[in-house]
Structure 1
């Protein structure tokens, strides 16, 4: 099985497993119908608007876009998107990260090259087409760009699909100083966490039903592998909440409800950010 189908299989299976509590019209029929509306191209004006600065990063024989926010010469953090693409939520996270502690320089690489999914079926289509090994190369190029542009130390943080890629970066990307991953674990074909090299913190909701990707058992398995790896690590489980619980903006909460995830816990979100801040501060302070 290819990496793209491997990653999509976990999420698609989990979405089908949720249909007992979710009206078919909001999830399963969107996927089963196969009627994808045309994948929306991200409006460059909106993506590059203040407070983000658009930059081009070199990788192999080409370049890709990335969006930067935060203090120059501050420690850097590469912020990795969910399966939706570089949308409002990952930009919300990056802006929040840039303001933590004494300030960070947060960089979002555009792994989808300008495409954004607005519906579940679109997001699945985009993730199906992702070159996961290529995405790891994007992360490495982003880490190198930050280190070449004033950041002495650089971490990686990611959410859902980006969480899995963040863990992969701990295994595969030289120069990563710390990782925080939210509710996503890579398939062993991409990266085995037992080979992690960078300190890694991970967060999971105890009600997460994305079996094999971010459910509690997968999180516990990750914890055991990190123990065997010998790297500093912390793995947290949050009771009473499910997948994507950090997406608590009004738009993010509405989208979660549409997907059958109507749980919210502001205290858990605040606790996760506090743990994130402590972890990155511990390993990225100059």
Structure 2
């Protein structure tokens, strides 16, 4: 495990133990198979993922960077501004595709691109997702983002932004520091580790969103969000940081499947009005910096 992955793993293990009402002795033992009412529901989630792949509006492409090639999924208008959409720790699953498809339809339309940072793997429970994130090459993921931004700009997008959720949120902010081609960033509940990127060095404008009840201390809790805001302000980086009262981590996941998954992790909050408010702020930010 890399030192960066160790940093995130410690945060997530500690928080998941507190969220889990069963208080397992193993920090990775808490899984959907244990908390869903029956294994049938998990099979339904798997079936849903498979059927979604068949009827998907996304076009699968391959992007080359260094000596490796990775899959990416594109949806939206051909010559529109581009937005790279970064996955949560689950991988390229139904929810990140929901977000990308929604983004592609905002304003006059965007071309949304999801790079597959896990190379085809998807976590269907917490233990699998944590294992996948623990094994992520974070510096390599930043290179994937850079290659994705460059692909968009080479294929009809004059400007390109980056957005992401949870793990993807942290990588979004990292891209504002490490990927000079990025024109704007919107991060949802995730801040990069000090070993990956210092937000004070951001070269692109950053908007960030956090839930007031987020308990991932050092990653996406309110204190971490406010510390991010202070850093960006002191460094003179154009920014907006929003904190949503009464909401916990991953509050943007408001599809029926996403709501159910959050409940299995002890997150019972929801507020569709705040979700739409966050999307409205997202649109204003991206429109401001990506419109030609």
- Tell me the TM-score normalised to structure 1 length: 0.92
Alignment of 1:24-63 (within 5 A): 24=23, 31-32=28-29, 46-47=52-53, 49-63=55-69
Name the CA distance, whole Å, in 2 between partners of 1:247 and 1:74. 25
- Kept in 2: contact 1:30–1:120 (CA 8 A): no
- Kept in 1: contact 2:200–2:237 (CA 8 A): no
- Kept in 2: contact 1:48–1:67 (CA 8 A): no
1:111 aligns with 2:117: yes
Q: Once the 2 structures are TM-superposed, how far is the Cα of residue 30 of structure 1 from its aligned partner?
A: 6.8
Alignment of 1:69-108 (within 5 A): 69-108=75-114
Secondary structure, counterpart of 1:24 in structure 2: coil
Name the CA distance, whole Å, in 2 between partners of 1:174 and 1:116. 29
Q: Which residue of 1 aligns with 2:276?
A: 270
Secondary structure, counterpart of 1:202 in structure 2: strand
Q: Which residue of 2 aligns with 1:131?
A: 137
Q: Once the 2 structures are TM-superposed, how far is the Cα of residue 7 of structure 1 from its aligned partner?
A: 1.9
1:244 aligns with 2:228: no
Q: Once the 2 structures are TM-superposed, how far is the Cα of residue 12 of structure 1 from its aligned partner?
A: 1.6
Q: For residues 111-166 of structure 1, give each alpha carbon's deviation from its aligned partner in whole angstroms, at most 9, with x where no partner exists.
A: 00000000000000000000000000000000000000000000000000000000
Q: Which residue of 1 aligns with 2:259?
A: 253
Runs of at least 4 residues of structure 1 off by over 6 A? none
Q: Once the 2 structures are TM-superposed, how far is the Cα of residue 18 of structure 1 from its aligned partner?
A: 2.2
Name the CA distance, whole Å, in 2 between partners of 1:216 and 1:144. 33
Q: Once the 2 structures are TM-superposed, how far is the Cα of residue 248 of structure 1 from its aligned partner?
A: 0.2
Q: Which residue of 2 aligns with 1:23?
A: 22
> Gapped runs of 5+ residues in structure 2?
34-45
| Number of residue equivalences | 278
Q: Once the 2 structures are TM-superposed, how far is the Cα of residue 11 of structure 1 from its aligned partner?
A: 1.5
Quickly say closer, same or farther: Cα 1:33–1:235, change in 2 above 3 A: closer
- Kept in 1: contact 2:52–2:94 (CA 8 A): no
Q: Once the 2 structures are TM-superposed, how far is the Cα of residue 239 of structure 1 from its aligned partner?
A: 0.1
Secondary structure, counterpart of 1:181 in structure 2: strand
> Gapped runs of 5+ residues in structure 1?
none
Q: Which residue of 1 aligns with 2:193?
A: 187
Secondary structure, counterpart of 2:28 in structure 1: helix
Q: Once the 2 structures are TM-superposed, how far is the Cα of residue 32 of structure 1 from its aligned partner?
A: 4.1
- Tell me the TM-score normalised to structure 2 length: 0.90
Name the CA distance, whole Å, in 1 between partners of 2:203 and 2:50. 36
Q: Once the 2 structures are TM-superposed, how far is the Cα of residue 24 of structure 1 from its aligned partner?
A: 3.4
Secondary structure, counterpart of 1:31 in structure 2: coil
Q: Once the 2 structures are TM-superposed, how far is the Cα of residue 50 of structure 1 from its aligned partner?
A: 3.0
Q: Which residue of 1 aligns with 2:4?
A: 3
Alignment of 1:140-159 (within 5 A): 140-159=146-165
Secondary structure, counterpart of 1:167 in structure 2: helix
Q: Which residue of 1 aligns with 2:40?
A: none
Q: Once the 2 structures are TM-superposed, how far is the Cα of residue 47 of structure 1 from its aligned partner?
A: 3.9
